Amino acid sequence: MLALIGGSGAGSISRLSIDERRVIRTPYGSPSDPVVRGTLGGAEVLFLPRHGMSHKIPPHAINYRANLWALRECGATGILALNAVGAINAGLAPMDLALPDQVLDYTWGRSHTYFDGKSGVVRHVDFTHPYDETLRGRIAGAADGVGLGCFSPCCYAATQGPRLESAAEIDRLERDGADIVGMTGMPELALSRELDLPYASLCVVANMAAGRGEGEITMEEIERNLVTGIENAFNVLEAALAG
C-alpha cells in the first residue's frame, strides 16, 4: 500500500474517501497528524499531511522520523510525496509539475537519521539514486496519460526555511545544479531510504525562486498557484494509483 504525504496546499484530502484515521505514537514522538487510510483512484492508500491538517507545523519543525515511522507501521510499502517548490530552472513556470531524480541537502539541525548512535546500530545507506525509478516512472506515465507535462528529470535543493532564499542563494543553488527549491524534501527522502521505503516526489511549482521572477514573492501568489497546481498533482496521483 502506498502512502501519500501531502505538503503545502495539500492538507485537504477531499479527493480521498476515508475509511479510518489512526493516532500513532512512535519511538520518535508523534507524527504531524493521525494517519488516514482510504481510497484514491480505486487503490487503498494512506495519507498524512506533513504540516498537520491545519498547516501549523513549519518545515524545520516537522517530525519527519515520526511521520515515516508511523506510515510504515500502518502498512506503507512506498511513499508518494507532494512538495511545493520554487522554480530555479527557466524552463519551469508557476503551477508546473516536476519530478526530481536527484537532491541537494542544505538543511541543518533536523533529526535526519534513525541511525543516530542511540540504537547501537551503525548503518550508512546507499543514496546514489535517492528517488525510486519505478515510482517515478509510474508518476511520469500517469502525467502523460492525463495530458499534464511533468518536468523530469531534475534536481531538488532542500533549504532550511522558513524564510525564502536570497537571489544570491538561488544563484548558488543553480551553480550547484538545482532546478527546483523547497523546504521539506529532506530529511524525509533519506529517512525513507533508511526504512527501505521507495520514495518519489511530485513537486508543484508555487513561484519562481528569488531573483527569477518579477519583484517580491508573496504568500498570496504562492497560495493562489498551489490551488491549481495541487489540483493537477492530485489528478496525476489518482491516475498513477489507478494504473
Residues that bind ligand HPA (CB under 6 A): 84-86, 159, 164-165, 181-183, 206-207, 209, 222
- Min. distance of Cβ 17 from ligand HPA in angstroms? 29
- Min. distance of Cβ 19 from ligand HPA in angstroms? 31
As a whole number of angstroms, the distance between CA 100 and CA 13 comes to 24
Of the candidates 162, 52, 154, 171, which has an alpha carbon nearest to the alpha carbon of residue 110?
A: 162
As a whole number of angstroms, the distance between CA 165 and CA 233 comes to 25
**H or E element: which one contains 137?**
helix 133-145
As a whole number of angstroms, the distance between CA 50 and CA 31 comes to 8
Q: Which amino acid is at 166?
A: S
Chain residue whose CB lies nearest ligand HPA: 86
As a whole number of angstroms, the distance between CA 19 and CA 40 comes to 11
Closer to ligand HPA by Cβ: residue 99 or 164? 164
Task: State the residue for C-alpha cell 530552472.
Answer: 89
Closer to ligand HPA by Cβ: residue 206 or 230? 206
Of the candidates 204, 196, 187, which has an alpha carbon nearest to the alpha carbon of residue 62?
A: 187
Closer to ligand HPA by Cβ: residue 67 or 207? 207
- Min. distance of Cβ 206 from ligand HPA in angstroms? 4
Closer to ligand HPA by Cβ: residue 74 or 181? 181
Of the candidates 226, 208, 106, 225, which has an alpha carbon nearest to the alpha carbon of residue 156?
A: 106
Closer to ligand HPA by Cβ: residue 32 or 184? 184
- Min. distance of Cβ 10 from ligand HPA in angstroms? 13
Closer to ligand HPA by Cβ: residue 95 or 197? 95
- Min. distance of Cβ 43 from ligand HPA in angstroms? 28
- Min. distance of Cβ 109 from ligand HPA in angstroms? 17
Q: Count CB atoms within 10 A of the CB of residue 235.
A: 19
